[in-house]
Amino acid sequence: MTKDVAEIAAAMKVLDDFMTAFNARDVEAFEATFNFPSVRLASNTLRVIEKGDHKPEMFGTGALAEWDHSAWERRDVIHSGSDKVHIDTRFTRYRADGSVIGGFDSIYVVTNQDGHWGVKIRSSYAP
């Protein structure tokens, strides 16, 4: 059994809260799951995200135009330590009728920054 049980549990809770807030389209709760600045690498573009960058309109445009909700399909810890957990994930995006938009492999780095566990880095194959 790994020595980082509490850290892994904290990181997994962040991912649970992240998905719950995202699906609820709750920008304030969603931003609470991050440690800013946060980095996202997707579609061959690196983006540094600051607090306040997420807006309600993001939930219905671009790659999320047909999106209704998402769900984790896989969350496997790659590495863990006292202040950081690397997690190999796969999530699926769904339309309102339950049909699949797509499934996307990603790596999430969840960190403990000043006592707050949050998403620091995401690298995803999602658009």
User: Mind listing the pLDDT tens digit for each residue in 5-20?
Assistant: 999 999 999 999 999 9
The ranges assigned to domains in the chain are 5-124
* Percent of all residues in the chain with a pLDDT value above 70, rounded to a whole number: 98
CA dist 5 and 23 (Å) reads: 27
The CA–CA distances, whole Å, from 48 to 1, 53, 123 equal 35, 10, 12
111 and 118 Cβ atoms separated by less than 8 Å: yes
Please report, as a single letter, which amino acid is at residue 27.
Answer: V
Question: Where does the chain show beta strands of DSSP type E?
Answer: 34-42, 45-49, 69-80, 84-94, 100-113, 116-124
Domain 5-124 listed as CATH 3.10.450.50:
yes
Residue 98 is predicted with a pLDDT of 97
* Average pLDDT of span 44-66: 91
Residue 14 is predicted with a pLDDT of 98
User: Sorting pLDDT into bands at 50, 70 and 90, what band is 58?
Assistant: confident
Measured in degrees and rounded to the nearest 5, phi and psi for residue 45 equal -125, 130
pTM equals 0.93
